[in-house]
Structure 1
């Protein structure tokens, strides 16, 4: 591809004569110098901790001769320097150009918010695929399409990776993409040149605020709102207290959904249900023109909000109502309020809740279902903020009957340090707790102590299949451990009955 075609609509200056660059052919784009070779463009990205300009000479040594730079740096005489105001913005447009602007040929649905992004994107994919619209997913759990899975480093991949994924999906028959759009992804211009058909706002609460993330909550909100300047159509949870601020900043047309406030689509007559392999909720959906019943195989108010977002998408895309309702009934997401049918006398749930807000949401939801004891097994990430540990402890000690405090990606920190910080929040609480730093042993202990009617939540790991210990990711499947522990327990009980 010609360099000038890659740079289409990118403003730049350069250090060579026009005749020297106008016919240059480009093999590919790289923003990591180790991936460079002859015929590539190296884009020097300025990050929070790493400045790509420092690696330009390494890219040159690997054969790279064309450089996208924000600052002038010393390079060999034959290096071609193209100067841009912001290399992240340049990378976004260049990547879209290089892959043929694939998002324009896809129906792209972007989901943003503090909670619910993963669940909503996966529900959308599940329902649309069952309705016959080939839909891929990009998000926290990775990239999925046509039975193919690819890991992603970030919830919202870097712009080059994003447009590469779009192109690959398009080439494989995908028609629609449901993707998580993180505030960080928006802030770092990863989605600037994505042609969004639909943008969804789920909710907003303080998160990702710190030196390497958003400086203030206002900045966090502003980044979320930017998605609604990139999309053609917006779908917004009007019950959220920040919804109107998102709407005020939007440039697309907006429709709303709710449980409490007036909206374009409202859930009424909510009823909770419980089975050995699921916790669900049914509700009536009321719009200006019709009313119908829907069911989602997940518990609580937040599941209704997630379902309303999916229904809004389906209606906008003209999916047949009966197909949508039937598909929604079986929509599930691994590690998100996932019920493991391993004990017939207790409910075992795996969930990704790893901060105070999300843990409180799931625990308060579960309390709406009949139960004996509510037990929560959880920890907190090592080497991170102590505030999260305090919040988790405060929520769990207030909402639960018993807790098992354990590890959760301790990395280089002693798990007992983390547990101690969490345990401090239990002082003066009526909630008892057990300390077991080995998470595998902790899960087995939870299965062992389960009684008739108990609800036990394994919080924090969710879909994850590993534990970060001393800088190394160790294979760890909480689901598999729970299944094996329950199987062993039931076998032992059977043996005792026979003896």
Structure 2
């Protein structure tokens, strides 16, 4: 319970109806969650507008409503009008939960690719060092005391985020590592949080279209917002947009990379493929001079490990702890190996757009497979352009492609596969269509040749298949293991 005036600190508002002298017992933006004494925040989303549910919320007992439009209401209710309800909700949530981020060192990671892997690497380094810490991102909510929760968004909405941060702070966490998506920044989910360190991985064309970003420039500008609220910045010196990301910022900038001069640099990179799996070794120069054996393969993961390493160093983690963590690190669904044979390799990855798919394939080509066999599909209710691009990328870069179903959602799998096939037909790539994903995986394993590298892409950490609003259990690791 909190006083309304206290919740609205830092918020520019007008009270258009009712009294400011009231208490709030609960905050929500879903009218189904309203209880007597609630504050109901009307979020105007791309699909639904919370203002349309205002009357329902009041009937259920909402005491305060936060709006961004002129509304007419009945009943004993206070109406607070703001410029942007998403922005206001972030501050309200922060105040309701007692500004929990201020009790921890917050590390935010943004970029098109590598957020999840970098976040998990840094989180595991902190755990290895004995730091009580939390993790928020695509893989859900994690705490070093063993707590695990699923998550619905890479960066949760502000109400969920502040609640989780409160629980982390109350559990004694002194540090929280979180992925900060462009959507999270665009919709003010991290408003009111100051980050001790902001980490930048890379930027490429993605998330442009209806319901996401209007243009690449908007996408890039949203990413940059993280660094405007960071006390220190770790940035990929090799990425062509690094100058844009750090322009006109006052925070000190520290760099990592492979090609350009930087504070932490990887040299003498060697890609190893053996009966133990896929590894990469390299030497670091600059702040940290060490020899690294990285369990996760490829150049992309060298960059991810450098980002985590530099941030860990700034947080006071020893090189010995960093080295030990990287030797044993693994991230679910991110170039995750499933060892079922010494004759060929199988990996699972979350790559679900053309840029990620191209990066993944080029990474795995570094291990010189006899054939690179790619199995993937595309999600339903997403841009057809993404499907064409992924089809073209697959046909151009893989030796054999197996097209199958991903999360069709409310579309027919056959229609999605037809869109992907159009992209495939622009190339000379060999492909086969097997709509049933379980059958497709079984086929890929049964046809494996010695020296092959089989890539099962698109779902990564997910253990379900979404079809017409239902989530059916689907564990690709078990499916791969049972194919032998």
TM-score bracket, shorter-length normalisation: over 0.9
Report how far residue 77 of structure 1 moved.
Answer: 4.3
Contact 2:392–2:425 (CA under 8 A) maintained in structure 1: no
Report how far residue 480 of structure 1 moved.
Answer: 0.9
Q: What residue in structure 1 maps to residue 264 of structure 2?
A: 265
Match of residue 76, structure 2, among 69, 75, 78: 78
Report how far residue 149 of structure 1 moved.
Answer: 1.7
Q: 1:383 to 1:93 in 2, by over 3 A?
A: closer
CA distance in 2, matches of 1:385, 1:8: 40
Q: What residue in structure 2 maps to residue 297 of structure 1?
A: 295
The one-character-per-residue Cα deviations of 1:298-355 (angstroms, maximum 9, x if unpaired) are: 1111111000001111110111111111112111101100010111211011111111
When structure 1 is superposed on structure 2, of 74-83 and 419-428 the one drifting more is 419-428
When structure 1 is superposed on structure 2, of 7-16 and 454-463 the one drifting more is 7-16
Alignment of 1:59-458 (within 5 A): 59-145=57-143, 146-287=145-286, 289=287, 291-427=289-425, 429-458=427-456
Q: What residue in structure 2 maps to residue 26 of structure 1?
A: 24
Q: 1:30 to 1:361 in 2, by over 3 A?
A: same
Contact 1:255–1:264 (CA under 8 A) maintained in structure 2: yes
Unaligned runs of 5+ in 2: none
CA distance in 1, matches of 2:223, 2:125: 25
Contact 2:332–2:460 (CA under 8 A) maintained in structure 1: yes
Report how far residue 467 of structure 1 moved.
Answer: 1.0
Query: How many residues are aligned here?
Result: 482
CA distance in 2, matches of 1:21, 1:28: 16
Aligned: 1:36 with 2:37: no
CA distance in 1, matches of 2:427, 2:209: 30
Query: Over alpha carbons, which structure has the higher Rg?
Result: 1
Q: 1:425 to 1:75 in 2, by over 3 A?
A: closer
The one-character-per-residue Cα deviations of 1:438-492 (angstroms, maximum 9, x if unpaired) are: 1100001111111111110001111111112233221111111111112xxxxxx
Contact 1:12–1:83 (CA under 8 A) maintained in structure 2: yes
1:280 counterpart SS class: strand
Q: What residue in structure 2 maps to residue 497 of structure 1?
A: none
- With normalisation by structure 1, the TM-score equals 0.93
2:152 counterpart SS class: coil
CA distance in 1, matches of 2:415, 2:475: 24
Report how far residue 401 of structure 1 moved.
Answer: 1.6
Report how far residue 226 of structure 1 moved.
Answer: 0.8
Superposed structure 1 runs of 4+ greater than 6 Å apart: none
When structure 1 is superposed on structure 2, of 387-396 and 230-239 the one drifting more is 387-396
CA distance in 2, matches of 1:135, 1:191: 18
CA distance in 2, matches of 1:205, 1:21: 46
Match of residue 477, structure 2, among 479, 483, 499: 479
CA distance in 1, matches of 2:51, 2:423: 46
Q: What residue in structure 2 maps to residue 14 of structure 1?
A: 15
CA distance in 1, matches of 2:412, 2:296: 35
Contact 2:392–2:426 (CA under 8 A) maintained in structure 1: no
When structure 1 is superposed on structure 2, of 425-434 and 133-142 the one drifting more is 425-434
CA RMSD, 1 decimal: 1.6
- With normalisation by structure 2, the TM-score equals 0.96
Report how far residue 295 of structure 1 moved.
Answer: 2.2
Unaligned runs of 5+ in 1: 487-499
Report how far residue 37 of structure 1 moved.
Answer: 1.2
CA distance in 2, matches of 1:77, 1:342: 65
CA distance in 2, matches of 1:372, 1:324: 34
2:23 counterpart SS class: coil
Report how far residue 277 of structure 1 moved.
Answer: 4.8
Q: What residue in structure 2 maps to residue 490 of structure 1?
A: none
1:124 counterpart SS class: helix
CA distance in 2, matches of 1:203, 1:398: 23
Q: 1:290 to 1:94 in 2, by over 3 A?
A: closer
1:485 counterpart SS class: coil
Contact 1:277–1:339 (CA under 8 A) maintained in structure 2: no
CA distance in 2, matches of 1:170, 1:277: 40
Contact 1:351–1:457 (CA under 8 A) maintained in structure 2: yes
When structure 1 is superposed on structure 2, of 297-306 and 1-10 the one drifting more is 1-10
Contact 2:196–2:230 (CA under 8 A) maintained in structure 1: yes
Contact 1:436–1:442 (CA under 8 A) maintained in structure 2: yes
